[in-house]
Amino acid sequence: MTPVTPATPPNPDRSAHPDSPGGTFRTAGLRRRGLLRTGAAGVAALAAALLPGPARAQGTGAGAGAVQPDIDSTSTWGARAPQGTISVLRHRPSGIVIHHTASTNSTDFSRAQAHAHARWVQDLHLDENGWADTGYHFLVSRGGWITEGRHGSLSALTGGSSFVLGAHTSGQNDRTIGIANEGSYHAGALPPEAQWDVLVTLCAYVCAQYGIAPAQITGHKDHGTTLCPGVYHDMLPRLREEVAAAL
């Protein structure tokens, strides 16, 4: 848990969430990536050796080429019950907004750390922000493990026709899926490859399930004054390209 970036507030991304306490919230869908550079087989081998998270990415197909990633549900990581009503929107989201959680850049790439991170974010959003539940739909750990954020996000994503109202980007919560990456990237740190690869897979799965064009993947700072998602924002063109290639 050694921070590689300057000390930051518990959740700097919070400043980017003008959403009022108890306001909108939703959860989104995640997925793992399709391993474009080396092919599924090569990635699987690599994942098996080094990246336990991505190794689980091999799942059932969602769209033409999208891979359904393993996503640990709220019950799997031990989420607390929501402190309010989770609103289900009976329409498909039209975009994805990328975030970082401004957590310390842990070198612990384990599934246990991904779960601890999910609990940390939920605690902040419930206890400090006063929200009904985690603001993001999905979170991607630095080790490449995906966790469901807001309750209901995973089942909605699997269904492909609805999503839950989130609390991640002011003005975008009723139209986009919020995906947050564990770590702080606003001070120059680069995302671990495992996290990047799984983010691509998850975004491709979300795009496939909801019919979202990769061009509609944006970063938090596109919608407000915030440093979020840091370096990830600079990498959005590449993200869109890799997601498109994975579909």
Task: Candidates 13-21, 39-47, 82-90, 201-209: pick the segment binding Zn ion (CB under 5 A).
Answer: 13-21
Indicate whether 102 belongs to the interface with Zn ion (CB under 5 A). no
Q: How far is it, in rounded angstroms, from Cα 82 to Cα 222?
A: 29
Q: Which two tokens stand for residue 238?
A: 């590449």
Indicate whether 99 belongs to the interface with Zn ion (CB under 5 A). yes
Task: Candidates 22-30, 101-109, 208-216, 218-226: pick the segment binding Zn ion (CB under 5 A).
Answer: 218-226
- Nearer Cβ to Zn ion, position 27 or 58? 27
Instruction: Give strand ranges (E) for the chain.
Output: 71-72, 88-89, 95-100, 138-140, 146-148, 163-164, 176-181, 217-219
Burial class (CB in 10 A: 0-12, 13-18, 19+), 91: exposed
Indicate whether 186 belongs to the interface with Zn ion (CB under 5 A). no
Task: Candidates 8-16, 111-119, 124-132, 158-166: pick the segment binding Zn ion (CB under 5 A).
Answer: 8-16
Among 36, 200, 208, 228, binds Zn ion (CB under 5 A): 228
Indicate whether 220 belongs to the interface with Zn ion (CB under 5 A). yes
Q: How far is it, in rounded angstroms, from Cα 49 to Cα 46?
A: 5
Q: Which residues on adjacent β-strands are paired with residue 148?
A: 138
Binding mask 14-43 for Zn ion (x = CB under 5 A): --x---------------------------
Indicate whether 79 belongs to the interface with Zn ion (CB under 5 A). no
The answer to whether 104 and 10 have CB atoms below 8 angstroms apart is: no
Cβ 220 to Zn ion shortest distance, Å: 3
Q: Which residues on adjacent β-strands are paired with residue 179?
A: 98, 138
- Nearer Cβ to Zn ion, position 31 or 99? 99
Q: How far is it, in rounded angstroms, from Cα 239 to Cα 206?
A: 13
| Chain positions contacting Zn ion, by CB under 5 A | 13, 16, 99, 220, 228
